[in-house]
Amino acid sequence: MINPPIRLLLRMGLMPLGYALLETRGRSSGRPRTTPVGNGRRKDTFWIVAEHGQRAGYVRNIQRCPRVRVRLRQGWRFVWREGTAHLLPDDDPYARQRRLSRFHPLRALNAIVVRVMGSELMTVRIDLNPLPQRREHGAITDRAPASATAAATRSPRLRAGH
């Protein structure tokens, strides 16, 4: 009921505060599947409390392929972060929600919705890959210089790794 309008806003590039977009690989089709989730980011770890546990489609996708992406706000920009998901059926989802929502009213609201709508809460931990860091003109940036990218695509030698 809540996911379709949130998913639409996220696809339009509007990130409702307190939400992120999780991308998994379909367990049968192998196609990317996106699901709005509460933003449980803590540094390079992203936490989710799945409302329906093992019955949630994205949880079953993670069981099949734990490589995921999360689209979240980083400063003023929205970025995709890749990572590896881990299902934690032995973790206490209620305690996890309390820790994540402390001092975050939007996370607290999401925790209430998950508890009310959920049937079998389960914690999912995503270890986010570090952002690539490159030096460009004395500043650190997260993307390769355009000249290096263009040269690599033009030169068959560079593409082949010679």
- Any bridge partners for residue 73, and if so which? 78
Most confident of 10-14, 17-21, 106-110, 135-139: 17-21
The confidence score (pLDDT) of residue 78 equals 83
Q: Which residue has the higher pLDDT, 37 or 118?
A: 37
The confidence score (pLDDT) of residue 57 equals 92
Amino acid identity, position 70: V
Most confident of 10-14, 55-59, 118-122, 132-136: 55-59
What is the C-alpha separation between 87 and 123, in angstroms, rounded? 6
**E strand or H helix at 136:** strand 134-136
